[in-house]
Chains A and B, each alone.
Chain A
Amino acid sequence: MSFINLREKIVQVKIVYYGPGRGGKTTNLEYINRKFSKQIQSEMVSLKTHGDRTLFFDFLPFDMGQIKGYELKIQLYTVPGQVKYNATRKLVLKGVDGIVFVADAQEQMREKNIRSLNQLHENLLGYKESIFRIPLVLQYNKVDLRNQGIPILPTSVINKDLNSKLKVPYFEASALTGYNVPETLKKIISSTVVSIQKKLL
């Protein structure tokens, strides 16, 4: 749940990047951290293993400026993608306002994407949230690998796998080069802000 400080006119919004392991969630945040350094006042926090994989979460606070007189502080989190860390994923999802699901568009990852999305659905139910209600944007990452001859799922296929029931906004992206990373972020921020406004009014 977002937290609103009426006295200082600050709204804190929690957005979580969710998805299968090695899908590019941390890389999304790293790109945002580099690209929007002016809006980011503190260092990105990364709790990772020696092998550079996310152990607990990454955290990046992001200032969006003012909306209707309220200062918007976006808190970006990632979760660890590895299957065994579901307890940690659940913890990070607590109080989430908006989710970016980062799918790995490589053909060999097809099943892992579906499993991870199903688990997101279950984890949200644990907090009495619904994947059909919460602001959600899908990102089909690693499309740049197509140029290197690596089999990439066509967007129509991956969209049918993941988005046929959800029908939420989606982007092809390359977190490494930054292609559609800002667009994904803008979309989830706007959907989340609209959803919070609806809840308040």
Chain B
Amino acid sequence: MNYGVVSQEQLEKIDEILTEKLIKIGVDCVIIIDMAGNIITAKDNGTTKYDVYSFAALAAGNFATVDAMAKLVGEQEFSLLFHKGTDCNIHFSKIDDELLLISMFGREISLGFLRLNVVETIEQIKKLWARD
């Protein structure tokens, strides 16, 4: 995996996958971050604006904390996380050891439908890394 510097071509393909699989089904905002809190890419539906940089820092910390909790109860990891709100929900899913996919979505999408699409998105992104 070419990590640290991602090529323009790779990013464009990832953005295409995110738009096709997640934004088009109604996800408000989707971000890929690394575990250090850097943003690899962020896509939104054009109407919602989040402070993605602060979000990435907090999400990386959040995921690392949950990872430490998993170890305390004897789990290797908790590979997905879900926070439920009234109008906005956040879903975190690990792409690999270094990368995390975060989706923010409203009441229109069911969690199950989102999870299916997240799994497919991650498979496609992984294929992309493998090919390059």
Residues of A within 8 A of B (CB): 1-7, 12, 14, 41-43, 45, 47, 56-57, 59, 61, 73, 75, 77, 87, 91-92, 94-96, 200
Residue of A2, A3, A42, A73 most packed against chain B (CB within 10 A): A3
Q: How large is the interface on B (under 10, 10 to 19, 20 to 34, 35 or more residues)?
A: 20 to 34
Question: Which residues of B lie under 8 Å from residue A77 when comparing CB positions?
Answer: 37, 57
Question: Which residues of A lie under 8 Å from residue B37 when comparing CB positions?
Answer: 14, 59, 75, 77, 95
Q: Is the CB of A5 within 8 A of B53?
A: no
CA distance A73 to B34 in the complex (A): 15
CA distance A29 to B36 in the complex (A): 19
Q: Is the CB of B8 within 8 A of A6?
A: yes
Q: Is the CB of A42 within 8 A of B36?
A: no
Q: Quick one: given A6-B7, A6-B11, A91-B64, are A61 and B54 in contact (CB under 8 Å)?
A: yes
CA distance A4 to B53 in the complex (A): 14
A-B contact pairs, 13 of them (CB 8 A): A1-B34, A2-B4, A12-B39, A41-B51, A57-B57, A57-B61, A75-B37, A75-B53, A75-B57, A91-B65, A94-B35, A95-B34, A95-B35
Q: Is the CB of A92 within 8 A of B54?
A: no
Q: Is the CB of A59 within 8 A of B57?
A: yes
Among B5, B36, B51, B65, the residue within 8 A (CB) of A95 is B36
CA distance A47 to B34 in the complex (A): 20
Q: Is B96 an interface residue (CB 8 A)?
A: no
Q: Is B77 an interface residue (CB 8 A)?
A: no
The smallest C-beta distance from A187 to any residue of chain B, in angstroms, reads 22
CA distance A182 to B49 in the complex (A): 31
Among B12, B34, B53, B61, the residue within 8 A (CB) of A56 is B61
Q: Is the CB of A87 within 8 A of B68?
A: yes
CA distance A96 to B36 in the complex (A): 8
The smallest C-beta distance from B60 to any residue of chain A, in angstroms, reads 8
Q: Is the CB of A43 within 8 A of B54?
A: yes
Question: Which residues of B lie under 8 Å from residue A4 when comparing CB positions?
Answer: 4-6
Q: Is B58 an interface residue (CB 8 A)?
A: yes
Q: Quick one: given A42-B54, A59-B54, A61-B54, are A3 and B61 in contact (CB under 8 Å)?
A: no
**Which residues 57-112 of B sit at the A interface, judged by CB distance below 8 A?**
57-58, 60-61, 64-65, 68
Question: Which residues of A lie under 8 Å from residue B58 when comparing CB positions?
Answer: 45, 59
- Interchain residue pairs A-B with the least CB separation, the first 9: A95-B36, A3-B38, A59-B57, A42-B51, A61-B53, A7-B8, A91-B64, A12-B38, A4-B5
Residue of B51, B61, B68 most packed against chain A (CB within 10 A): B61
Q: Is the CB of A45 within 8 A of B54?
A: yes
Question: Which residues of A lie under 8 Å from residue B54 when comparing CB positions?
Answer: 42-43, 45, 59, 61
CA distance A200 to B40 in the complex (A): 18
Q: Is the CB of A14 within 8 A of B36?
A: yes
Question: Which residues of B lie under 8 Å from residue A7 when comparing CB positions?
Answer: 8, 11-12
